[in-house]
C-alpha cells in the first residue's frame, strides 16, 4: 500500500484532538494538544516526588510563544508517588510538565497538563523511520539531470505498515490499553493529573503516548467533532495500490545465469606479483583488542590501475588538549606505484573519530575525511575539492560511480544538562539532528534536509536512494525498493530473513545483500542484478563472521570476501583479531558469473577495507597480518 505519511500524521493529529472548554477562554477555540512519548518508564514503587520525567514531542506543535518541533524535549517531575500496601488501597502517580525545548536548545517554561494516556505504539513495521521522505523528494533531479526547485518537492513516502489499532480519537481523562488505570485530569497538587490503580502499582512504560494541553483547569468537556476532510494545495492524495504478491526471486539460483558460491581450490598460482612486509611501513595490525565489528584501523584503495593507496594508523602518541578530541588519531597514507613498488607520495591526516575515513568515488577519485572537512583526491593524490563540516561527521555514503555523495553532519539538539539526562534515561546516546546534504562529484550541494540520528543511513545507487521495507503482517519478509531521483519507485528485490537484511550497492547496478537464514544459525549472501534475480548466492555458518563485496569501476568484475573465526560467534558477540582463522577471497567475471580468481589467507585482519579491486579488475590487493599482497586477476577484456 502506498501512503502519504505526512498527511496521515496530520489527519491523526486532528482526530486525536481533545475538545476542551476552558473556563477563561470558553468562547475561543481550544488549543491543540501536544502529543508526546514518554522516554523512561515510571513506576510508583521506584520513584519519589521530585523525580525527573522526560518526554519527546511526536508531532510539531505550533504556538507563537513556544513552538515545539517533532523531537523536542518536555521536562517535568513526579509530584505524587503512592505505592500499594496493606494500608494504601490504591496506587497513585501524579505528573506535571513545566518546561520544554521551545525552538531552541534552551528549556523554557511551558506548563502542560496530562489529558490522556495511551499504551506504547508497537515497533514500526518498516525498517527505519517511515515518516522520513525519500531523498528524491528533496534532491529533485530530472530524468536528464535537470534540477527542479527543492521547495516544490512533495512529501510522499512509501510504506507498507500493518493496519494501526490505535484509537482515532481520545477524550480528556481517557486511558487506552493500560488495564485498570484511571486518569483524573488536573486534580492533583500543582495542577498535576493523577493516574491511579487499585490492582497494582501504577507503571507507565517507556514509549507510552501522552496527550497534554496547556495548563488551564478543565471545567466542562465538549464532545469532539469529526474533522472536515481537507486537502493541502500541492500535496498528493493518498493513493491505495494493490499489494503486490510476494515472490522471493533471489531464492532461486540456476546456472548458467547464477553461481552458487562454494569453497573451491585456489584458481591462481598461489604467488602474489607483489608482497610488501607491513613492517616496511611501520604498521602492525592490533589483534588483541576486543571488537564488536571489523574496524577502520587501515584501508586499501586503488587510485587508477597502477597506483595503490595504503592507509593505516601508525599508533603514535597524538597530543590532545581537549576532551572532544578523545578519538583523535593520525592516519598515514602511502601511495604506492605498482610498477616500481615504491612509495610515490606520503601524507598524514588527522581524523577525529574511529569511523570510516576513506571512500572510493570513481576510478581515479578518493574521498577522505580529515580534520573537519572532506577532501576529494584525484590522480597523484592531488586535492581537487574540499568541503567544510560544521559539526561531527555522522556518515558518508557514495553512489557506485561516485556521481552522488550523501554527507550527514550531527547537530546537537540539547543543552549539556538535558543531553546527560536523556543519556541516563535511555541508556544510549540521545537523538540528535543530522543535516544530510546530497552532493555531486564536484561537491555542489543538490539538496539539504534534516533527519534524525536514529534514522538508517541512506543507501545510494546511481539512480536514487534504496530503502528496505518489511512486508505487511510479516517479520521475515522484506522488499528492497529504489526511489529514483525522478520519483519512480521500483522493487529491486524481495527477501526472506529473520533479521533486517544489509544492503550495499556495487558498480554499476548490483546489490550485495546479507541476511539471516530461517533458523538464525548462519547468514546467506547474494549478488542481485537489476532485475531482482540472484547472480551469486552463498551461505555462511556462524563461524563465518564477515561477508563483504566490492566491484571494479569498469563494471566487469566483483569480488567477495568471507572471513572465518576459529569458533562460533553470535551476531552481537565480541571477538579478538586473533580469533580470526582464515579469509577466502574470490573474483568473479560478471559476464560469466564464474570465479576467475580465488585465494585463502590464514592470517586475516579484522579490518573492513582489507581488500581492493583495481578499476579494470586486472589485480586485487589484500591486507594480511604481515604483508600487503597484490595478485594478478586473469580476466578476459
Residue 148 falls inside a structural domain: no
Weakest mean pLDDT among 94-98, 324-328, 403-407, 421-425: 324-328
The CATH number that applies at residue 27 is: 2.40.128
435 and 581 share a domain?
A: yes
Residue 202 falls inside a structural domain: yes
State the residue for C-alpha cell 500499594: 84
| Residues 6 or more apart whose Cβ sits within 8 Å of residue 461 | 399, 400, 482, 505, 509
Distances (CA, A) of 70 to 82, 318, 431, 433, 452: 32, 40, 11, 11, 10
| Residues 6 or more apart whose Cβ sits within 8 Å of residue 471 | 160, 246, 477, 478, 479, 494
In the predicted model, is pLDDT for residue 113 greater than 90? yes
- DSSP characters over 567-588: S---TT--B-GGGEEEEEEEEE
Weakest mean pLDDT among 118-132, 427-441, 493-507: 118-132
Which of 175, 198, 221 lies at the terminal end of a domain, its last residue? Answer: 221
505 and 578 share a domain?
A: yes
359 and 213 share a domain?
A: no
The string of pLDDT tens digits covering residues 234-292 is 333 323 334 344 454 445 565 555 666 554 444 444 578 999 999 999 999 999 999 99
The string of pLDDT tens digits covering residues 27-45 is 345 568 999 999 999 999 9
In the predicted model, is pLDDT for residue 515 greater than 70? yes
Average pLDDT score over residue span 149-154? 30
Distance CA(157)–CA(483), nearest Å, equals 9
377 and 450 share a domain?
A: yes
Residue 279 falls inside a structural domain: yes
Q: What is the pTM of this model?
A: 0.79
- DSSP characters over 241-273: -PPPP---GGG---TTTSEE-------S-S--S
For the record, the C-alpha cell of 429 comes out as 546516546
Residue 234 falls inside a structural domain: no
Which of 221, 240, 268 lies at the terminal end of a domain, its last residue? Answer: 221
pLDDT (0 to 100) of residue 254: 55
pLDDT (0 to 100) of residue 543: 86
| Residues 6 or more apart whose Cβ sits within 8 Å of residue 159 | 1, 2, 3, 5, 125, 126, 130, 469
Average pLDDT score over residue span 214-232? 42
pLDDT (0 to 100) of residue 268: 47
pLDDT (0 to 100) of residue 325: 64
Distance CA(411)–CA(197), nearest Å, equals 42
Residue 155 falls inside a structural domain: no
For the record, the C-alpha cell of 566 comes out as 576459529
216 and 355 share a domain?
A: no
Residue 411 falls inside a structural domain: yes
212 and 257 share a domain?
A: no
pLDDT (0 to 100) of residue 131: 55
Residue 435 falls inside a structural domain: yes
| Residues 6 or more apart whose Cβ sits within 8 Å of residue 427 | none
pLDDT (0 to 100) of residue 146: 40
pLDDT (0 to 100) of residue 578: 94
In the predicted model, is pLDDT for residue 466 greater than 50? yes
Q: Is 138 helix (H, G, I), strand (E, B) or coil?
A: helix
200 and 348 share a domain?
A: no
pLDDT (0 to 100) of residue 167: 61
In the predicted model, is pLDDT for residue 456 greater than 80? yes
CB atoms within 10 A of CB 85: 9
**Which is it for strands 107-118 and 175-176: parallel, antiparallel or unpaired?**
parallel
Residue 553 falls inside a structural domain: yes
Weakest mean pLDDT among 111-125, 374-388, 482-496, 498-512: 111-125
Domain count for the chain: 2
| Residues 6 or more apart whose Cβ sits within 8 Å of residue 450 | 433, 434, 435, 436
Distance CA(434)–CA(406), nearest Å, equals 12
42 and 96 share a domain?
A: yes
216 and 346 share a domain?
A: no
State the residue for C-alpha cell 597480518: 625
Task: Assess whether the previous peptide bond of 508 is cis (omega < 30° from 0).
Answer: yes
For the record, the C-alpha cell of 104 comes out as 531552541
Range of the domain at 445: 253-632
200 and 273 share a domain?
A: no
Distance CA(226)–CA(214), nearest Å, equals 22
**Contacts by residues 633-637 (CB-CB < 8 Å, ≥ 24 positions apart):** 633/557, 633/587, 633/596, 633/597, 634/268, 634/596, 634/597, 635/556, 635/557, 635/587, 635/589, 635/596, 636/589, 637/556
Distance CA(39)–CA(19), nearest Å, equals 26
The string of pLDDT tens digits covering residues 50-92 is 999 999 999 899 888 889 988 899 999 999 999 888 888 899 9
200 and 297 share a domain?
A: no
The CATH number that applies at residue 411 is: 2.130.10.10
pLDDT-above-90 percentage for the chain: 58
pLDDT, averaged across the chain? 81
167 and 282 share a domain?
A: no
Distances (CA, A) of 55 to 280, 412, 467, 514: 56, 17, 29, 36
Query: Which pLDDT band, with edges at 50, 70 and 90, does 478 fall under?
Result: very high
Amino acid at each position: 500500500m502506498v501512503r502519504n505519511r505526512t498527511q496521515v500524521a496530520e489527519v491523526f493529529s486532528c482526530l486525536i484532538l481533545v475538545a476542551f472548554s476552558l473556563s477563561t477562554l470558553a468562547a475561543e477555540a481550544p488549543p491543540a494538544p501536544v502529543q508526546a512519548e514518554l522516554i523512561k518508564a515510571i513506576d510508583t514503587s521506584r520513584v519519589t516526588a521530585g523525580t525527573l520525567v522526560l518526554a519527546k514531542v511526536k508531532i510539531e506543535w505550533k504556538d507563537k510563544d513556544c513552538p515545539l518541533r517533532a523531537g523536542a524535549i518536555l521536562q517535568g517531575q513526579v509530584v505524587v508517588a503512592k505505592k500499594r500496601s496493606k494500608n494504601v488501597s490504591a496506587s497513585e502517580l501524579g505528573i506535571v510538565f513545566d518546561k520544554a525545548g521551545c525552538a531552541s536548545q534552551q528549556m523554557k517554561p511551558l506548563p502542560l497538563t496530562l489529558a490522556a494516556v495511551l499504551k506504547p505504539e508497537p515497533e514500526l513495521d518498516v525498517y527505519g523511520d517511515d515518516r522520513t521522505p525519500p531523498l528524491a523528494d528533496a534532491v529533485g533531479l530530472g530524468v536528464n539531470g535537470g534540477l527542479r526547485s527543492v521547495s516544490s518537492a512533495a512529501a510522499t513516502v512509501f510504506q507498507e505498515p500493518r493496519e494501526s489499532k490505535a484509537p482515532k480519537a481520545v477524550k480528556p481523562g481517557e486511558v487506552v490499553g493500560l488495564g485498570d488505570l484511571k486518569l483524573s485530569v488536573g486534580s492533583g497538587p500543582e495542577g498535576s493529573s493523577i493516574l491511579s490503580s487499585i490492582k497494582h502499582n501504577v507503571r507507565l512504560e517507556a514509549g507510552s503516548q501522552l496527550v497534554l494541553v496547556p495548563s488551564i483547569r478543565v471545567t466542562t468537556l465538549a464532545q469532539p467533532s469529526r474533522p472536515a476532510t481537507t486537502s493541502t494545495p500541492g500535496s498528493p492524495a493518498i493513493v491505495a495500490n494493490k499489494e503486490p504478491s510476494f515472490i522471493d526471486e533471489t531464492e532461486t539460483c540456476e546456472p548458467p545465469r547464477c553461481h552458487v558460491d562454494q569453497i573451491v581450490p585456489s584458481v591462481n598460482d598461489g604467488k602474489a606479483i607483489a608482497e610488501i612486509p607491513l613492517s616496511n611501513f611501520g604498521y602492525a595490525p592490533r589483534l588483541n583488542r576486543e571488537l564488536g565489528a571489523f574496524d577502520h584501523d587501515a584501508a586499501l584503495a586503488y587510485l587508477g590501475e597502477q597506483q595503490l593507496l595504503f592507509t593505516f594508523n601508525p599508533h603514535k602518541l597524538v597530543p590532545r588538549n581537549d576532551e572532544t578530541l578523545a578519538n583523535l588519531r593520525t592516519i598515514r597514507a602511502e601511495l604506492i606505484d605498482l610498477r616500481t613498488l615504491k612509495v610515490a607520495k606520503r601524507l598524514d591526516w588527522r581524523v577525529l573519530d574511529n569511523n570510516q575515513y576513506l571512500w572510493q568515488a570513481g576510478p581515479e577519485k578518493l574521498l577522505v575525511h580529515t580534520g573537519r572537512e572532506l577532501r576529494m583526491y584525484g590522480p597523484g593524490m592531488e586535492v581537487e575539492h574540499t568541503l567544510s563540516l560544521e559539526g561531527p561527521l555522522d556518515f558518508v555514503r557514495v553512489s557506485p560511480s561516485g556521481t552522488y555523495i550523501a554527507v550527514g553532519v550531527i547537530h546537537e539538539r540539547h543543552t549539556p544538562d538535558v543531553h546527560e539526562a536523556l543519556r541516563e534515561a535511555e541508556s544510549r546516546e540521545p537523538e540528535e539532528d543530522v543535516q544530510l546534504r546530497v552532493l555531486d562529484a564536484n561537491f555542489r550541494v543538490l539538496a539539504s534536509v534534516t533527519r534524525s540520528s536514529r534514522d538508517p543511513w541512506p543507501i545510494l545507487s546511481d539512480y536514487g536512494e534504496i530503502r528496505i521495507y518489511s512486508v505487511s503482517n510479516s517479520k521475515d519478509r522484506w522488499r528492497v525498493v529504489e526511489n529514483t531521483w525522478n520519483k519512480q519507485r521500483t522493487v529491486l528485490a524481495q527477501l526472506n530473513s529473520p533479521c533486517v537484511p544489509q544492503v550495499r550497492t556495487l558498480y554499476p547496478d548490483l546489490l550485495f545483500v546479507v541476511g539471516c537464514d530461517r533458523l538464525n544459525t548462519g547468514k546467506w549472501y547474494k549478488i542481485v542484478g537489476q532485475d531482482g534475480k540472484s547472480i551469486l548466492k552463498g551461505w555462511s555458518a556462524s563461524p563465518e563472521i564477515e561477508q563483504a563485496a566490492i566491484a571494479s569501476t569498469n563494471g566487469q568484475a566483483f569480488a567477495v570476501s568471507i572471513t572465518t573465526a576459529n569458533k562460533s560467534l553470535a551476531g552481537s558477540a565480541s571477538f579478538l583479531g586473533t580469533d580470526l582463522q582464515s579469509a577466502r577471497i574470490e573474483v568473479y567475471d560478471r559476464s560469466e558469473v564464474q570465479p576467475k580468481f580465488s585465494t585463502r589467507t590464514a592470517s586475516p585482519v579484522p579490518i573492513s577495507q582489507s581488500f581492493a579491486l583495481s578499476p579494470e579488475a586486472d589485480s586485487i590487493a589484500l591486507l594480511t597480518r604481515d604483508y600487503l599482497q597484490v595478485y594478478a586477476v586473469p580476466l578476459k577484456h
